[in-house]
Amino acid sequence: MIMPEPFEKPIYVTRPFLPPLADFTSGLQEIWSNKWLTNNGPALQRFQKELCRYFKTDNLCLFNNGTLALQIALQGLQLSGEVVTTPFTFVATTHALYWNKIRPVFVDIEPEHYTLDPARVEEAITPWTTAILAVHVYGYPCRLKELAEIARRHKLLLLYDAAHAFGVTVDGRSIGHYGDLSMFSFHATKLFHSIEGGMLMFSDPGRMKVFDYLKNFGFDGETEVVMPGTNAKMNEFQALMGSQILGHMGGIISRRQQIDALYRTRLKEIPGIHIPRLPSADVEFNYSYFPVEIDAEQFGMDRNQLYSALQRYNVFTRRYFYPLVPEFACYRGLSIKDLLTNARRIAGRILTLPIYDSLGSEDADRICDIIAHLCLNRPGAASKKTPHSTDDGWPAHLVAL
C-alpha cells in the first residue's frame, strides 16, 4: 500500500451545507427592506409553513435552538419526578431535564443501534416516572413500537430527542410522527440547519399555544403575560437559512448516502472496525453520522489512539458520545441502578468519521487509506510494516509531529 499523506487542510467531522450565496443575499434584501428581524416575522412564518408541508403536520413550533426547544417541551408538558432516559447522547438531552428539576434515570442502550433498550426502560419505571425521553441517536430510530407499548401500559408520555433525525422516515412517515413529541435540532453541525435552531413536533394540537407562550416570555397579546416564559424565538436570518436549505435536502441526503456506501465498502475490509448495520427496509435513513466501533485488539490500537493518530493526518473525527453523560462532573453524583454495560463499552469504542455533502469521494477514500495504513502499521504488526515505517510502527513523517 502507498503511504497516505496527511491532508493539507483539516478534515472535520462535519461541515455545514450552505445555499448559494446569491440566493441568501436576495433573501437578505427582503429582510433589509422589511426591517423585521425577529419576533414571528415573515421569513419565520414562511419557514414554518414549509416545514408543515415537509413534515405533513400543522403541529410544530420553531425555536432558536434545540436545547431550549426541549427545555420548553418539558416545561410545557409540566413534567416532574423521574424520566427514564439514555446516557448515550449529547449532554443537552439530560440538561433539559435538569433545568426542569426532573431526575434523569439512565438505563442501558441496545448494542445494535445504540438506542434505549425497552426492557431496561420498563424495569426502571417507578411511581415517580412521568415520561420516557429516548434519543434517535445518529438518526437510528428507537424501538418505536416497544417504547409506545410501554408508555401506553404505564400511562407515561413518550418523548423523542430527534436532534439527529431530520429527514428520517419510518413506514413512509416522518419519525416526528411517533411518540407524543419530538425535538429536532437545526444546529450548524446537523445535516439540516438554520445556523442555530430547533423544532418541536407533537401529536396534540392543544400544546401549540403553551409552547408559543413559553418561547415568548409568556405574552398573550401586548398587555398580558399568562405564564413565566423565556426568550427562545427563532430569528429571521435563521428562518431564511433553514428555508433555503430545505429545498436541497434530497441532494444532501443522497450525497451522504454515497459517502456512507463508500465507507462501508472500504472499511469492512479492515480488521477491528465494526460498522453498525443500516436500519431496516421500512426506514428511509438520513446518513447524518458515520459511527464505527474500534476493537482495540483486532485493530491494533484503541479508539483514543486512532482518534489521535488521525489528527496527525489532519483528520478530526469526534468521539460522540464519550464520555457518557453520567460520567460528567455535574452528573457523577447521581445514583444509577442500571450497570449501563453496553453504553459504557460502546462509549469506549465509538468514533464518528467525517461525513457531509461537500466531502469528496477521493477524500473519504483517503481517510480509509489512512485508517487501513494505521491498522497495518500498528505497533506490533512487525511483519506488515512498510519500508517507510519507523520502529514503533508510526509512519516516519508523522513521528516528528
Least distance to ligand T4K from the beta carbon of 16, Å? 5
**Candidate ranges 54-62, 97-105, 111-119, 184-192; the one touching ligand T4K (CB under 6 A):** 184-192
Site string for ligand T4K, 314-343 (x = CB under 6 A): --x-x-x-----------------------
Contacts to ligand T4K from residues 242-281, by CB under 6 A: none
Query: Can you tell me the distance from the alpha carbon of 143 to that of 51, in angstroms, rounded to the nearest whole number?
Result: 25
Count of residues engaged in binding ligand T4K, rule: CB under 6 A = 24
DSSP 150-211: HHHHHT-EEEEE-TT-TT-EETTEEGGGSSSEEEEE--TTSSS-SSS-EEEEES-GGGHHHH
Q: How far is the CB of 17 from ligand T4K (least distance, A)?
A: 10
Least Cβ distance, residue 10 to ligand T4K (angstroms)? 8
Cell numbers placing 265? 465498502
Amino acid 344 reads R
Residues 61-120 that bind ligand T4K (CB under 6 A): 65-67, 89-90, 92-93
Contact stretch for ligand T4K (CB under 6 A) within 11-19, 206-214, 218-226, 230-238? 11-19
User: Residue 238's closest CA among 275, 173, 190, 283?
Assistant: 190
Q: Which stretch binds ligand T4K (CB under 6 A): 161-169, 203-211, 300-308, 366-374?
A: 161-169
What is the four-CA torsion angle of 122, 124, 129, 131, rounded to 10 degrees? -50
Contact 80, 130 (CB under 8 A): yes
- Of these, 3, 7, 15, 249, which contacts ligand T4K (CB under 6 A)? 15
Q: Does 311 bind ligand T4K (CB under 6 A)?
A: no
According to the binding rule CB under 6 A, does residue 185 interact with ligand T4K?
yes
Nearest distance from C-beta of residue 234 to ligand T4K, angstroms = 11
Measured between alpha carbons, how far is 155 from 149 in angstroms, rounded to an integer?
Answer: 10
357 near ligand T4K (CB under 6 A): no
In whole angstroms, how close is the CB of 65 to ligand T4K at the nearest point?
A: 4
Comparing CA positions, the residue from 131, 71, 127 lying closest to residue 101 is 71
Instruction: Based on the shown chain and the rule CB under 6 A, indicate whether residue 163 belongs to the binding site for ligand T4K.
Output: yes
Q: Which residue, 183 or 294, has its beta carbon nearer to ligand T4K?
A: 183
In whole angstroms, what is the distance from residue 83 CA to residue 94 CA?
A: 10
Tell me which residue has its CB nearest to ligand T4K.
66
Residue closer to ligand T4K (CB basis): 16 or 19: 16
**Which residue among 16, 279, 323, 348 contacts ligand T4K (CB under 6 A)?**
16
CA–CA separation, 325 and 86 (whole Å): 9
| Residue 70: C-alpha distances to residues 133, 202, 216 (Å) | 10, 12, 15
161 binds ligand T4K (CB under 6 A): yes
Neighbours of 332 (CB within 10 A): 10
- At its nearest, how many Å lie between ligand T4K and the CB of residue 189? 4
Eight-class DSSP state of 288 = -
Neighbouring C-beta atoms of residue 342, cutoff 10 Å? 17
What residues line the site for ligand T4K (CB under 6 A)? 12-16, 65-67, 89-90, 92-93, 135, 161, 163-164, 185, 187-189, 198, 316, 318, 320
